[in-house]
Structure 1
Amino acid sequence: MTPESLTDALWGAFPPTSAKNSLQLHVSGLRKLMVPNGVSVDWTTAGYRLATPALYVDAMEFRRSVAEAHAATMTGSLAHASGLFSQAMNLWRGMPCQGLEHLPFHLQFSMDLVAAKASALCEWARCLMNEGHFERSIEVAEEASRFSPYDEHAWGLLALGRYRAGRQSESLATIQRAKRLLASELGLDPGPELQELEGQILSHSVPPIQEQPIAVVLDPPLSAFPVPSVTLVGRDELLLRLEPMLQNPGVITLTGLGGVGKTAIAATAATGLQVNGRPVTYLDLSTAHGMSSALAQLESIVEAPKAVRLSEEILSAVPVCVLDNADGIDGALETRLKVLTQFRHLLLLVTRRRPLGWKDERVIRIDPLPYGPMPTGPSPAATLFMEGLAPGIDPEIHAVEAICMSLEGLPLALLFAARRTRFMSLDRLASSVGASGFASVFGSKARSNTEPFGSLDAIVGATVAALESGSLSVLERCADIMGWTTYGLLDSAFGPNSSVLIDGLEELCDSGLLEAGPYDTYRLRRVAREYVLAARQENRPDPFITEIILAHVAAIVPGLFGPKAAAALQRLSLDHEPIIGALAAAIRDGQHESAVALAFSLGRYWLLAGQLKEGRQWIERVGSLSLASDSDRIRLSILGATFGSYINEVGCEVQLNELLEQASTMGVVIDRIIVNGWCALAAMEAHQNLQANADLHANKAAILAEASEDPSLIALARDLAGHVAAYRGDHDRALALALEGIDAARQSGDAYDMLNLLTAAVDNLVRLDRIPEALALSREALEHASSFESGPLVSTVLLLRADALTADGQIHEARGYLTEVLRISIDSHPDPLGTADALYILAAGAAREMRDLIAARLFEAARSFLADCGLDLESRMAGHCSREYDALSQRLGNALISTLGIGGRSDPQKVVFSVVSGSIWSVESASYPAQKYAGHPPLRAPGS
């Protein structure tokens, strides 16, 4: 049953808003009740389905018996087929699903069963007739015509049976009766089948019964499908993809790592076919006995077509043979299987860790379940894990998702982990799995009933043992690299033999050990990496990989300066995990020189990628090491404090001042880190209105830059001078310096400098009320920002674009940009100062629309954030925002603004969340001017 039909059955036309989650909880509870009785609730392409070890549900038993009878008819075993038809009909007790007529599924389900019975009765009647049991054939045909009175085929079989029994007059009377019924109730004439039969009876030219084909009996009979312990969750899209492929003959191979659920998927798909009348054979090839038994059965299947002439109707139901756990196929069995593939009326559904590699083989790789927070509710991995929890455990979703992430969504591992909740809390389990990975789930006593091996470790070991030697070397090198990595880094790590690397990557992906991603990226699954590292004496990656990654980074970093900055940034971003892993390994293993070199190289990357907080943390970790060079130590500290200034950390200016003075005393060589440090210090002092200090240190930066004779440092000091001038209120000079810098950046092609300078120019243009120019440059800044990762710099571009739009009266469009600024601040890059700026620009827009209550809350929330940064609202705002605030003050008075905005001032973070969610704009009184509270008339009409 589909989720929709179950929802309708439970709640009718008015389901609650939580219906989807409630239904999942009901199904989960039902599964827990049914599993002890050997019944599972599975998800299929059609919806939820009850599955049992033996098909004792009468409707399923009926379809199975009919399918077996159909197969017996194909092979000429008419007596056996007749017995199976009789067995199927004895299951009927009236009409299907009596008492369930109110349920939505009833009509279609009943109609399908009734049609299946009518078809089976007709086939049974023909089977009896071909055996020579004419009287019994007449009885069955009479039942068929009563059960389905408008079925001409049933009437034809009844007439034919009476004719073969020597009762010609009764035969003709039967046809006349059918004609009258069709004419009187449907207004139809009989079709060609009845008309042709009537003519043959009148002329005594009815064809004789054909000689029966030689019977071929499959020995042993059809095996029962396994009841998978891995519940089918999150596989609906895969089953939908598989469904049309199952309609055609050939070979379909389900591949993937052991424990991923291949058997469960194959059993679910094949059982669905069998219930719908397809003949299906299940063969487990995991043991030597299974292989020999399979060979005997396959010989029978191969020989059967030689003795049977199949009708078009029978050929349309392609027989299915499921070969489960087929990793050991070779020799005679492989030869016979290849013969089978030449028989175009057979479908082989194969499960194994790697493709067979045969011609025209259709391969579907089964990946682990998706994991991680999802907007629609728990992830498929979390849903499966929660179904296996011990009774009484409250599934805290954050701990559940953390466990699923550590186990990478592997179904077998999730079920084993869920078992541990019998004696371990979820939080403890999440901590254990996070620290120890799969080893915390699969101990030495772990056993699986769903795999032909004793543990997941043995499953991975068997997969690794089957690899070619070249693939083994690729596996070893991949184990040295943590997380997602690019082909370029793997190529650097593996050496010049690229053909071995390519072949190895292909085999590792086919075996499920390696995951392929976009942009030619790859990741060794954690379970495989743990297996490889555990086999090493030192149980850790090769230290040489750090030097390879350092060289890889050093070759890319120069590209972060200049016109190809975006491309270089993407290359490093794709290798982020192995690069950070190498930095952590260098710190852990005492490779201090490598750690320092990596930290300095990554400074520009962290800046452009907007990973300032993470970068600061790593720089501090490297700086805390026992370094041989005092110069390196002080430069790392300056770099870390500079990053702190970028994210507006309180107190960074004091630390930065002390470090820079210390560097001057030590005579540290002047480079970008030193000049940038002085620039950052001057910028922070300008923000805090410490103009004398800001001018002093900006001048210091300019002197050092000139002394270095480095054009890029001279430009850096010039840009800083414009920044300080802007905070001094000299926006004309600040704008002139920004425009000068933009011209230089256009010539050099440095995308990062261009973006910074464009935002500076837009800010100054807005403050000078040159709004059309500000709009034009902010649009250009947006185009440049599209090539950068989301972060503080992109937030600044969005913020200033919104500032210009608000000044121009385009409030609604500006609101979208500002909401995204706040979302970035919440999700990944906290920035109290940027948050305050976004809030007071939003407040100005709300005040302009006369939504005074909202405006008061937003202004006061911005005031609270600025106070935490040591700033005040009035001096921070641009001219148009100040004017809107003054207008609001005139309408309400400052006291009432303070009263109405108390919620924003006391809990500003709550206001931020209400903006991101959109709830703030639905405040009941928000659409009315707040003068209703103060008794003041509006200064202008709404929307003017």
Structure 2
Amino acid sequence: MLFVRVLGPIAVEVDGRPVDLGGPVPRRFLAALSLTVGTPVSDGVLTELVWGEDRPRQAAATLRVLASRLRSALGPSARECLQRRAFGYALTVHSEWTDHGRFAGMITDGVRVLAAGDAGSAARLFENALGLWRGDPWPELDQAPDLPAERARLTELRATAVEELQAARLACGETAMAVADLSEAVSAAPFRERRWELLALGLYRSGRQAQALAEIRRVRELLVEELGVDPGPALRTLEQRMLDHDPGLLLVESPRPRGMRTETSPRTPQRPIGRVLSSFVGRDRELGLLSVLLAERRMVSLVGPAGVGKTRLAVEYCAGGADSPDRWIVRLGDVHHGDGVVTAIATALGLVQITGDPVDLVRRALTLRPGQLVLDNCEHLIEPVAEVTMLLLAASPDLRILATSRQPLGIDGEQVLVVEPLPVFGAAGGDGAAVQLLIERVRAGRPGWQPTDSDRETGRAICTSLDGLPLAIELAAARERAFGLHGIAAHLRDRLDVLGTTPRGSLSRHASLEAAIGWSVEHLTPADRAMLLRLWPFEGGFTWQGAEAVRPVGTDAGVLATLASLLDRSVIAADVTSGGTRYRLLETIRRYCRDTDPDPPATRAAHAAWARGFVADQAALLTGHRAGAAYRLLAAELPNIRAGIDYDLAHHPVHALRSAAALQFAWPVLGVLVDGRDVIRTALDTAADAGTEDRARGLLALSIVSFHAGDAREALGRAEAAMELLADPEPDRDLWLHALMFRALALTALGDRASTRSAIDRLIAEVDRLPTADWIRGCAQFGQGIALLLEGNLADAIGWLASARELSAECGHLWCQGMADVVLACSLLTPAADADTAASALTAIDRALRAFGEQSNISDALGAVYIAAYALMALSSPESAVGLRAAAIQHSERIGADPRRYTQFAHPVVLDRMERLLPAGEQRAAEQLGRQMSWTAMVALVRDSVEGISAD
């Protein structure tokens, strides 16, 4: 377990072992993260806290290196506590795993316990809390903007602890020790009246009544002279009670030694809870969190899907700790009726001779001998278990109950801890706990086996197919000797029976993974089960609207209520972090549902019909103000859309062609150019009997996708083929305008000035002939700007590009809005461009990136980043320029895009200069570093450069 100390110089322990954090920079980095434990700290804030004004040039990359080194220092058991989130880095530890969190918790508990009358326990809490204090908090971060308030809060808590510790000592009768410490305390903080009050009370109880009154007079004089105020009501009341010789001032509890506990009943030795013989992998965080939760809450439920390891986690928790309270594990898996719950508990408690009411007997036993009761496998007995749990908790105030179940018990005060599958990948991108478990279990059957890189890659594929479920991974490892890892991976794509059976001595009560999943599914209500069996075609998750579209005919229950019920029973999962809720089935459950579905063809057809309608609805929004949201929805549903198109290719080719063509702008925007190109070609070949309009739309979609892929000749050929099919523009004028636009765009990439001018004139004439949508008119203006630019008329070109950008912004056409700025930036990058001109180009690129970001446009954003590299070159940032260009090329190659497709608008001399910008060795080093940049780092580099220009 990771423990972070900041009450004094920062120090870290992992499983009780001190960790060497290195020099001052990594220490400040970790100290900055500990300011907001569990909450991400952005790169910008981290950079300011760690380096101040001396920030490195590549701050984001340096932060990654720092994080990687710290993870290595923390070791395998704690490295995942330092995580990279979408908004920055975060130290994902519970507040109890930090000394300031534990300190604050002890103070709160001490005040509460003291108010309840347990002065001895309160004194121990305050002493332990003060023992954590080693100096001023976060001395490494003196310049942090939020630090003074947090440091003041902790300092005030410490002052409170000093005072309340002495109050607890006085209540325990430890008067002499309290008076000695209070004499020092009033000198250290003379204006805190609580200290004077306690000192005077201690002196009075020591028989020194005159000195007690003298101290009250002294503090009155101090307050009047220094602050001009009289003592508060507490001191004035105490003084009057002393003058009245109130006997209540002398009443204290019997000074019983503070380590003693009284036994209310004779104790019998408890049978120890033994661990399973196999190793326990990847649950250190959950074990630590479970300990904290059971210390704070009386009812905790471990909830998760079949095979995730809830029982094993509970057993490991119970078996740990030699001086832990009594713990009993009640196995409910084989209890089939509610009446058997109490009997099972009584048996676990050792009450073998049950006479009379078993409920009263169990309640009395747990009242006399409270401890921790583990109720394992509760999912099929939720109602009776919840009833018994509430009864026992009410009868025994010191009892703690831990339940394992596939759904919460749903009782008041229940703390739910969701047990997630093991991660396949670690925080640094290496093997996660799931792969480590697979390797360990394979080694159990093959001593000395060392996995190759190929074995590890196959192991990751297996663990991904099995959702990181520990039970499934162990059953897969059991078959390694028969099939090998590669054979298991191949079979898992279609079937689960390749997995082994549960070994003897396992905590799982099911013979196989399929049986464990079946147990979950068969205990659903008929309506829930029918809904679940219709969800398997969804790829990558689904929304409630998608589930509604495939809901079985005749189902009365509302889809939201059904999804909530399935979620409660851990057969589906929900992701609420992306702004809208998405549900998903684990892959293992998906395969079970596919194999169990009574009518798979109908289910697949319903899913394809939903995908078809979804594409049509969202594609209609891609050129207006709702385009950003539509692109994000399409991106989220892309796996489902592909599955739907695949189905239509086999059953309804014309529908497949329509969907593929409707996504003509989405394929490049979402960065799936290669896939989109292949899908459109396949659909055109398969739907040979499609009508003229459908084929023309398919050809035009292939044209625009080919353009973004850097194949201008195919783009031109497909656009002209579509125009030949259409022949007469009147029946579908918008389609004809698309053809004119795409043909003109392809010609610009080919650099044919005369043909480009002719195509643009033809487009503008058609736009002016009849009323036309603003987004098409904006594209025509954009084309005019390009034609003028190719003709060397820079001034007029800039005017047309600006008009195109403004009109596109007004009508919500994000692509043209961003592209106008990209081309404008290209036109500014001439050999004579000075720093101001380059700054204007970079500012235009930043505007384009914001438009593309709203559109989720990966392909064109990479083209913009590529052009930004040349602007940085003109701004005398050679290393950044070379690195940024290499990064844009690297990311573009991954999606099949060509970032160079807009460089025909830049001067050749400028393009050539980049190749010789640095000496050969430095050029290669900068390119290598750039190829490691993330998408976020690329955009941040552009944005930071623009902000730097603005600051100058």
**After TM superposition, is the score higher than 0.5?**
yes
CA distance in 1, matches of 2:426, 2:702: 32
CA distance in 2, matches of 1:706, 1:684: 22
Task: Name stretches of at least 5 consecutive residues in structure 2 with no aligned partner.
Answer: 3-11, 24-67, 79-93, 98-205, 207-253, 352-358, 935-952
Q: CA separation of 1:285/1:780 partners in 2, compared to 1, >3 Å: closer, same or farther?
A: same
Q: CA separation of 1:746/1:244 partners in 2, compared to 1, >3 Å: closer, same or farther?
A: same
Q: Indicate whether 1:552 and 2:605 are aligned.
A: no
Q: Indicate whether 1:222 and 2:271 are aligned.
A: yes
Q: Indicate whether 1:663 and 2:725 are aligned.
A: yes
SS in 2 for 1:364: strand
User: How many aligned residue pairs are there?
Assistant: 685
CA distance in 1, matches of 2:559, 2:766: 49
1:415-470 CA-to-partner distances (Å, cap 9, x unmatched) read 2222332133433332332x215344368x99993321221111111111222333
With 702-711 and 643-652 compared, the bigger mean Cα shift is at 702-711
Q: Which residue of structure 2 aligns with residue 852 of structure 1?
A: none
- Aligned match of 2:892 in 822, 825, 830? 825
With 662-671 and 463-472 compared, the bigger mean Cα shift is at 662-671
Report if aligned partners of 1:799, 1:818 keep a CA contact under 8 Å in 2.
yes
Q: Which residue of structure 2 aligns with residue 382 of structure 1?
A: 435
Report if aligned partners of 2:385, 2:409 keep a CA contact under 8 Å in 1.
no
Letter paired with 1:284: R
Q: Which residue of structure 2 aligns with residue 426 of structure 1?
A: 485
Q: Which residue of structure 1 aligns with residue 472 of structure 2?
A: 413
SS in 2 for 1:560: coil
Q: Indicate whether 1:339 and 2:391 are aligned.
A: yes
1:132-180 CA-to-partner distances (Å, cap 9, x unmatched) read xxxxxxxxxxxxxxxxxxxxxxxxxxxxxxxxxxxxxxxxxxxxxxxxx
Q: Indicate whether 1:804 and 2:853 are aligned.
A: no
Letter paired with 2:300: I
Which runs of structure 2 are paired with 1:255-334 in the superposition (5 Å)?
A: 255-272=303-320, 274-288=321-335, 292-297=343-348, 303=361, 319-329=371-381
**RMSD, aligned α-carbons:** 4.8
CA distance in 1, matches of 2:715, 2:389: 75
Q: Which residue of structure 1 aligns with residue 242 of structure 2?
A: none
- Aligned match of 1:482 in 529, 534, 539? 539
Report if aligned partners of 2:621, 2:630 keep a CA contact under 8 Å in 1.
yes
Q: Indicate whether 1:597 and 2:658 are aligned.
A: yes
1:837-878 CA-to-partner distances (Å, cap 9, x unmatched) read 6xxxxxxxxxxxxxxxxxxxxxxxxxxxxxxxxx9xxx9646
- Aligned match of 2:793 in 730, 739, 742? 730
Report if aligned partners of 1:484, 1:523 keep a CA contact under 8 Å in 2.
yes
Shift of 1:499: 6.7
- Aligned match of 2:847 in 742, 757, 780? 780
SS in 1 for 2:299: strand
Q: Which residue of structure 1 aligns with residue 155 of structure 2?
A: none
Q: CA separation of 1:419/1:707 partners in 2, compared to 1, >3 Å: closer, same or farther?
A: farther
Q: Which residue of structure 2 aligns with residue 746 of structure 1?
A: 809
Report if aligned partners of 2:788, 2:794 keep a CA contact under 8 Å in 1.
yes
CA distance in 2, matches of 1:22, 1:307: 48
Shift of 1:827: 4.7
Q: Which residue of structure 2 aligns with residue 126 of structure 1?
A: none
Q: Which residue of structure 1 aligns with residue 639 of structure 2?
A: 577
CA distance in 1, matches of 2:698, 2:366: 82
Letter paired with 1:417: A
Shift of 1:748: 1.6
SS in 2 for 1:722: helix
1:476-499 CA-to-partner distances (Å, cap 9, x unmatched) read 342343321223333454499997
Shift of 1:646: 1.0
Q: CA separation of 1:499/1:536 partners in 2, compared to 1, >3 Å: closer, same or farther?
A: closer
Q: Which residue of structure 1 aligns with residue 512 of structure 2?
A: 455
CA distance in 1, matches of 2:523, 2:383: 16
Shift of 1:670: 5.3
Shift of 1:571: 2.3
Q: Indicate whether 1:506 and 2:564 are aligned.
A: yes
CA distance in 2, matches of 1:622, 1:442: 42
CA distance in 2, matches of 1:884, 1:606: 31
Letter paired with 1:520: T
Q: Indicate whether 1:717 and 2:780 are aligned.
A: yes
Report if aligned partners of 2:301, 2:409 keep a CA contact under 8 Å in 1.
yes
Calculate percent identity across the aligned residue pairs: 19
- Aligned match of 1:243 in 252, 266, 291? 291
Shift of 1:336: 3.9
Letter paired with 1:759: V
TM value normalised by structure 2: 0.62
CA distance in 2, matches of 1:293, 1:599: 60
Letter paired with 1:349: L
CA distance in 2, matches of 1:206, 1:741: 86
CA distance in 2, matches of 1:771, 1:22: 43
Which runs of structure 2 are paired with 1:797-876 in the superposition (5 Å)?
A: 797-809=864-876, 818=885, 821-822=888-889, 824-825=891-892, 827-831=894-898, 833=900
CA distance in 1, matches of 2:618, 2:255: 86
Report if aligned partners of 1:802, 1:813 keep a CA contact under 8 Å in 2.
yes
Shift of 1:581: 1.9
Shift of 1:206: 14
Q: Indicate whether 1:762 and 2:815 are aligned.
A: no
1:783-816 CA-to-partner distances (Å, cap 9, x unmatched) read 3333232512222333344443443446677667
Q: Which residue of structure 2 aligns with residue 535 of structure 1?
A: 596
Which runs of structure 2 are paired with 1:156-195 in the superposition (5 Å)?
A: none
SS in 2 for 1:389: helix
Shift of 1:259: 0.9
Q: CA separation of 1:449/1:587 partners in 2, compared to 1, >3 Å: closer, same or farther?
A: farther
Shift of 1:308: 10
Shift of 1:514: 0.6
Q: Which residue of structure 2 aligns with residue 915 of structure 1?
A: 930
Letter paired with 1:347: R
1:13-59 CA-to-partner distances (Å, cap 9, x unmatched) read 99xx99988998999xxxxxxxxxxxxxxxx9999xxxxxxxxxxxx
Shift of 1:604: 2.8
Letter paired with 2:414: E
Larger radius of gyration: 1
CA distance in 2, matches of 1:305, 1:572: 57
Report if aligned partners of 1:280, 1:319 keep a CA contact under 8 Å in 2.
yes
Q: Which residue of structure 1 aligns with residue 243 of structure 2?
A: none
Q: CA separation of 1:796/1:680 partners in 2, compared to 1, >3 Å: closer, same or farther?
A: same
Q: Which residue of structure 1 aligns with residue 238 of structure 2?
A: none
CA distance in 2, matches of 1:381, 1:668: 61
CA distance in 2, matches of 1:669, 1:5: 73
Shift of 1:228: 6.7
Report if aligned partners of 1:722, 1:733 keep a CA contact under 8 Å in 2.
yes
Report if aligned partners of 1:670, 1:708 keep a CA contact under 8 Å in 2.
no
Letter paired with 1:247: A
Shift of 1:232: 3.5
CA distance in 2, matches of 1:471, 1:637: 44
Letter paired with 1:513: V
Q: CA separation of 1:760/1:676 partners in 2, compared to 1, >3 Å: closer, same or farther?
A: farther
CA distance in 1, matches of 2:816, 2:665: 12
Q: Which residue of structure 1 aligns with residue 414 of structure 2?
A: 361
Letter paired with 2:585: L
Q: Which residue of structure 2 aligns with residue 623 of structure 1?
A: 684
Letter paired with 1:236: D
Q: CA separation of 1:566/1:46 partners in 2, compared to 1, >3 Å: closer, same or farther?
A: closer
SS in 2 for 1:796: helix
Shift of 1:371: 2.3
TM value normalised by structure 1: 0.63
Report if aligned partners of 1:791, 1:829 keep a CA contact under 8 Å in 2.
no
1:597-643 CA-to-partner distances (Å, cap 9, x unmatched) read 32222223324323322221221222221442252235313422331
Q: CA separation of 1:502/1:614 partners in 2, compared to 1, >3 Å: closer, same or farther?
A: same
- Aligned match of 1:687 in 749, 755, 777? 749
CA distance in 1, matches of 2:636, 2:867: 29
Letter paired with 1:619: I
Q: Which residue of structure 1 aligns with residue 250 of structure 2?
A: none
CA distance in 1, matches of 2:389, 2:933: 61
Q: CA separation of 1:902/1:814 partners in 2, compared to 1, >3 Å: closer, same or farther?
A: closer
